[in-house]
Chains A and B, each alone.
Chain A
Amino acid sequence: DAKTTQPPSMDCAEGRAANLPCNHSTISGNEYVYWYRQIHSQGPQYIIHGLKNNETNEMASLIITEDRKSSTLILPHATLRDTAVYYCIVRVAAGANNLFFGTGTRLTVIP
């Protein structure tokens, strides 16, 4: 699986968009980008995933660059409940089944 790099922490004002970047410059053609988050001491929660097209669901949007070497998770209107650690994970359908959670980005939404 490709290695990912995320900033250790970010702040965002409540009500504003939170844009969380992830670098995955060694991603291969069949690897998908997944985002999870973990609100303090709760179980991680799946957010969204994508291959090369931008994706949107009820929780967030995922923007993947054309060269697929980086992506951005967008929370359009951040709330205090979005304060969490966000993990970017690159995976294929085959291969190892467990997820590798790196250090992620600690997002703090400020009132």
Chain B
Amino acid sequence: DSGVTQTPKHLITATGQRVTLRCSPRSGDLSVYWYQQSLDQGLQFLIHYYNGEERAKGNILERFSAQQFPDLHSELNLSSLELGDSALYFCASSGPLGTLAKNIQYFGAGTRLSVL
């Protein structure tokens, strides 16, 4: 158990819909990262939040957004869903920035999104 909790585990929805994925980081971790993994594809970085502030964006579509709340949990919002958005979505948390601990990321079990 990594200590990172993601809900829901599975999500099935239709094209055009909007969904919200939730992530609770490990106790004490201020960073939350979101990654996307499409079928047979590598892990793609989407976005990073640190203590409530956005720190970096990767290959995140404009239809996607995220936020980190004061209790440090994070939500990834995916809207106007397309078939190609079907993927595994992982979140990870890590230790303080500017230290080696930030390179040791603990991943949740992921949310499998199926867009039909």
Chain A residues near B (Cβ < 8 Å) = 32, 34, 38, 41-46, 49, 89, 91, 93-94, 96-104
Closest CB-CB distance, A91 to chain B, in whole Å? 5
A-B contact count (CB 8 A): 66
* Contact-residue bracket for chain B: 20 to 34
- Produce 1/0 per residue, B63-94, CB < 8 A to A: 00000000000000000000000001010101
Chain A residues with CB below 8 A from B55, complex form: 97
| B51 CB-CB contact with A under 8 Å | no
Chain B residues with CB below 8 A from A43, complex form: 2, 4, 90, 92, 107-110
In the assembled complex, the Cα of A89 lies from the Cα of B106 at a distance in Å of 15
Interface residues of B in 25-67 (CB under 8 A from A): 31, 33, 42-43, 45, 48, 50, 55-56, 58
User: In this complex, which of B2, B42, B92 has the most chain A Cβ atoms within 10 angstroms of its Cβ?
Assistant: B42
* Given A97-B33, A97-B102, residue A42 in contact with residue B109 (CB < 8 A): yes
* Given A97-B56, A99-B45, A100-B45, residue A41 in contact with residue B88 (CB < 8 A): yes
Chain B residues near A (Cβ < 8 Å) = 2, 4, 31, 33, 42-43, 45, 48, 50, 55-56, 58, 88, 90, 92, 94, 97-100, 102-110, 112
Chain A residues with CB below 8 A from B94, complex form: 97
Main secondary structure of the interface of A (DSSP, over half): loop
In the assembled complex, the Cα of A38 lies from the Cα of B40 at a distance in Å of 13
Chain B residues with CB below 8 A from A102, complex form: 42
* Given A43-B90, A43-B92, residue A97 in contact with residue B104 (CB < 8 A): no
Chain A residues with CB below 8 A from B108, complex form: 43
